[in-house]
Amino acid sequence: MRNIVSKKAVASALSASLVLVLGGCGGMPTNRSLESVHQPVVARTNYTLDITAGPGGISIPEQRRLAGWFEALDLRYGDRIAIDDPMRSSASRSAVEALAGRHGILLSDEAPVTPGAVNPGTVRVVVTRSSASVPGCPDWSAKSETNLNNATSSNYGCATNANMAAMVADPEHLLKGASTKGSTTVMSGTKAIDSYREAPPTGEQGLSKNSTQSGGK
């Protein structure tokens, strides 16, 4: 009888464990706030190219090489270009600015720190590209139907933040919003509306008089 009872107890325990596993008991969510634990992470990558520069700036062949490098990188909005020039030549900076301007990118004032020293007679062009992602998403680690903590799901915020990271034009804006360049865009944006409102009505000067007689055949 004892063996039969013990076997029944073991069978009951195994059945209960099997029911819990099939029921999805695998952890309980712990985040009790409405702030998602999955936030976008911004990563920066620096691409460098050393080009030869002289007292008069950058030669035409080197400018062509730099232009080809820009095209190979497929420069786009959000990329940042800076130069590391030990001589601080204005001619070299102007040449790089002109090539960067073809892609609609302005030159940054300060260059990021890159490995290795810049050799004399060369200018290092640095392109910084940022990317945003949300690591750990999707997250279905909390599989328990029981929620004693009254917490949000472990996957809470993954969809919204992942879409934001994928769609933002400049990932740096996730860290710091865009700043103006000192121009009053509101006033310039309403010029067309002001011109329309201030225009005199077409009938203010009266109807134009046209002759119905024509001398031509």
Structure tokens at 44: 């920066």
Please give the mean pLDDT across all residues of the chain.
Answer: 83
By percentage, how much of the chain surpasses pLDDT 90?
53
Range of the domain at 101: 43-130
pLDDT, tens only, 186-198: 666 678 888 888 8
Q: Residue 109: is its pLDDT beyond 80?
A: yes
Amino acid sitting at position 86 = P
Q: In the chain, how many domains are there?
A: 2
Give the pLDDT score at 51: 95
The answer to whether residue 142 sits within a structural domain is yes
Amino acid sitting at position 49 = L
For residues 108 and 144, membership in a common domain is answered with no
The answer to whether residue 183 sits within a structural domain is no
Three-state helix/strand/coil letters over 75-87:
CCCCCEEEEECCC
Separation CA 30–CA 38 (nearest Å): 13
Give the pLDDT score at 120: 86
For residues 47 and 98, membership in a common domain is answered with yes
Higher pLDDT, 209 or 3: 209
pLDDT, tens only, 42-96: 999 999 999 999 888 999 999 999 999 999 999 999 999 999 998 889 999 999 9
Whether 122 contacts 48, CB under 8 Å: no
For residues 57 and 107, membership in a common domain is answered with yes
The answer to whether residue 143 sits within a structural domain is yes
Whether 36 contacts 157, CB under 8 Å: yes
Higher pLDDT, 141 or 27: 141
Whether 78 contacts 147, CB under 8 Å: no
Whether 61 contacts 35, CB under 8 Å: no
Sign of CA dihedral 89, 90, 92, 93: positive
For residues 47 and 126, membership in a common domain is answered with yes
Give the pLDDT score at 163: 95
Q: How many helices (H) and strands (E) does the chain have?
A: 6, 4
The answer to whether residue 92 sits within a structural domain is yes
For residues 209-216, average pLDDT: 68
Structure tokens at 116: 């290795």
The answer to whether residue 78 sits within a structural domain is yes
The answer to whether residue 211 sits within a structural domain is no
- Rg of the Cα trace of the chain? 33
For residues 36 and 143, membership in a common domain is answered with yes
Q: How confident is the model at residue 20 (pLDDT cuts 50, 70, 90)?
A: very low
For residues 125 and 164, membership in a common domain is answered with no
The answer to whether residue 75 sits within a structural domain is yes
For residues 114-141, average pLDDT: 93
For residues 96 and 138, membership in a common domain is answered with no
Burial class (CB in 10 A: 0-12, 13-18, 19+), 81: buried
For residues 114 and 148, membership in a common domain is answered with no
Q: How confident is the model at residue 152 (pLDDT cuts 50, 70, 90)?
A: very high
The answer to whether residue 1 sits within a structural domain is no
Domain CATH for 100: 3.30.1330.60
Tell me the pTM. Answer: 0.65
Q: Which of 65, 99, 130 is the last residue of a domain?
A: 130
Q: How confident is the model at residue 146 (pLDDT cuts 50, 70, 90)?
A: confident
For residues 26 and 68, membership in a common domain is answered with no
For residues 110 and 170, membership in a common domain is answered with no
